[in-house]
Structure 1
């Protein structure tokens, strides 16, 4: 099975960073490119209000800043990458990007919440399992992975 493009959901959490280390090992094994996807949730109503424009710019700036850790990890391990910062619900944005960019797999960190908690507060991983066109690999923080730095 070819694995040329790995999409990595990157939200800055410890769970996500752990999944990134796993993505590094897979990318090195398969010679893959990693698509780093970070999302932020802006308002659906766009106005000319300067305060709204500032808020959107700040959310995008923070998303870009969160990606820097992943970019440094991939650079340090000589793994090619491209960056995507998207506005919208995480699961939908990630699934759409995976489809548009022909990703072979999505790797995402999972907090491992129970089904009940996931239903109440929502779960990006759970939603991706249902809407993504490609396989989704959820990595729990408890999973041990010694190799990537």
Structure 2
């Protein structure tokens, strides 16, 4: 895992900004980050040329006003004792493209975006960013509190699940081992179980034992750094593992869910996995960190920005 030295925070002039700034301060303090880019993207100015000719300073004044508004929010919600270099960036255009380009130009380690439920405004297209960013993405629901006592890591024992668990271990280490990590595997009983001659209960037990064995194989490949990791096994009753993950996160009062992006090579870089896709869509209660080894999507960025 890499250090989070450069952070991009996507602000949009709503109440969500306060929450995102607080999270940025929390992450920066834990990681001793060096630089934060507070960013606002204006979707479309659409100012006629004759108006711009009459008022040549209109755009520059508006950009300066937005920067001042961002500075005000940061001043009110960022820890003043943190000596971290900050920049205020205002762009015009399509939100995801501008953020992706900025993340690439600045070699960002993490992008912070908001997840709205009641606050007005369109917010950030988190799913598109998760697919295409060359770094990790933290999606923060409104009114979330920046604390990490309990970390839920959904796992299918794959390589990208390994990335997510290693990230959780690193976070726990930085919190002086005060964070609890729970690794959840959602298993299901296949519909054709009856062809085996086993009852539903018997085959359910077989699937559970299979999951437990796979977890032991999986955890042996990971340096846990002596941090205790508790495995959780959840039987999927309705063919919807995402509901099981969200329900478990709420049940244990998880402070964050961490899941790995599926794309690990140039050929798969646009994929984050159906589980991550649906978690981004459905989860609006718990902060969600989609991890990706830095730079994995960088090679196709020029193509992406033309889409």
Structure with max Cα Rg: 2
Deviation at 1:13, TM superposition (A): 0.4
Deviation at 1:43, TM superposition (A): 5.0
Cross-structure match for 1:135: 287
Cross-structure match for 1:78: 226
Aligned-partner Cα distance in 2 for 1:143–1:10: 21
Cross-structure match for 2:185: 38
**Contact 2:262 2:269 (C-alpha < 8 Å) held by counterparts:** no
Cross-structure match for 2:244: 93
Deviation at 1:78, TM superposition (A): 2.2
Matched, 1:27 2:175: no
Structure 1 stretches of 4+ moved >4 Å? none
Deviation at 1:22, TM superposition (A): 1.0
**Contact 1:7 1:105 (C-alpha < 8 Å) held by counterparts:** yes
Cross-structure match for 1:126: 277
Aligned-partner Cα distance in 1 for 2:214–2:155: 8
Q: Pick the aligned partner of 2:215 from 51, 63, 67.
A: 67
The number of aligned residues is 137
Q: Which runs of 5+ in 1 are unaligned?
A: 145-149
Cross-structure match for 1:17: 162
Cross-structure match for 2:153: 8
Q: Which runs of 5+ in 2 are unaligned?
A: 1-145, 296-307
Counting helix residues as a fraction of each chain, which structure ranks higher? 1
Deviation at 1:57, TM superposition (A): 1.9
Deviation at 1:114, TM superposition (A): 7.9
Deviation at 1:14, TM superposition (A): 0.7
Q: Pick the aligned partner of 1:57 from 201, 205, 212.
A: 205
- Which structure is higher in RCO with an 8 Å CA cutoff and minimum separation 6? 1
**CA distance 1:53–1:14, change in 2 (3 Å):** same
Superposed CA RMSD in Å reads 2.9
**Contact 1:10 1:70 (C-alpha < 8 Å) held by counterparts:** no
**CA distance 1:65–1:77, change in 2 (3 Å):** same
SS where residue 50 of structure 1 aligns?
coil
Deviation at 1:143, TM superposition (A): 3.5
Aligned-partner Cα distance in 2 for 1:29–1:94: 25
Aligned-partner Cα distance in 1 for 2:249–2:276: 14
TM-score using structure 1 length: 0.76
**Contact 1:32 1:79 (C-alpha < 8 Å) held by counterparts:** no
Deviation at 1:58, TM superposition (A): 1.9
**CA distance 1:72–1:33, change in 2 (3 Å):** farther
